[in-house]
Amino acid sequence: MSAVPVPVDVGPETFADPPQGFMWLVRDSWTEATRHLKALPRNPELLVFAVLQPIMFVVLFVYVFGGSISVPGYSNYKQFVIPGIFVQTVLFGSIYTGLGIAEDLSKGFIDRLRSLPMYSSAYLLGRTMSDVVRNAISFAVMIGVAFIIGFRFEGSLVGALGATLLLFLFAYAFSWIQAYTGLVAGSAEAVNSIAFLWMFLATFISSAFVSPENMPGWLQPIAEHNPVTKVTDASRALYNGRDPGSDVWVSLAWAIGITVVFATLAIRRYRRTTSH
């Protein structure tokens, strides 16, 4: 009597569930962030543009428009406008988050992440973290240029550090708006068109370059309640050694609120995008 053959399982290999837990999230997010940071030296034109753009705005507004604009209460237009340019630079720098995500999506890279045992939200967290570092590089260059042309911290060092931290919190919040835009738009061209429109309006209908009091009456309430105005007024006051009043807390509330809302929307969109 012959032995009964033992059945052999030749079915597809099963994989363990993706890791969960806060430490896994931090590790996977940092791995993803370092991937983007290592790619920076291989894209020097991107880094050069990120550095040249703030220099261009500083020179343009200080030397082209500065002689035509007077701001009561400030020793010169530099002290007024350069904090606004700081805000504009970190805001415009957030667009790289959306562009990068849209490019990864169109190239199928995000689909390949589905085969990896990684935390589902780590891709977006890593992407936004790496863009904060790139914003920091641009900001450091811009600070140097601002000091060369005569800008000074007229307040305390603690106040200047607080203003800078506030700017980066705000930039990180807007990176999540760009992350959601990149997932929804699906292409770098679409992201560029959508993001530039609302960033242009948010920046110029604010106190970044002129006081809202000089705007038409119907436009003043829009500019005054613009979150870009709040963070500009708060950072401008801290850099110039003035009392920011409630602007710091209002700016923090905007930054936290934007981060929570758009991080939730982006993560949900990302999971839907990678689930089919």
Mean pLDDT of 133-154: 85
pLDDT tens-digit map of 2-17: 555 544 444 444 444 5
Percent pLDDT > 90 in the chain is 25
163 touches 172 (CB < 8 A)? no
pLDDT at 96: 82
The model's pTM is 0.81
Give the chain's mean pLDDT.
Answer: 81
65: which DSSP letter? I
State how far the Cα of 5 lies from the Cα of 28, in Å rounded to an integer.
45
Give the burial string for 4-41 (b: 16+ CB within 10 Å, else e): eeeeeeeeeeeeeeeeeeeeebeebbeebbeebeeeee
Q: Kindly state the tokens that stand for 127.
A: 């992407």
Our CA dihedral for 94, 46, 205, 56, rounded to 10 degrees, sits at: 140
pLDDT at 17: 55
Give the model's confidence band at 41: pLDDT under 50 very low, under 70 low, under 90 confident, else very high.
low
If one compares 172 and 47, the residue with the highest pLDDT of the two is: 172
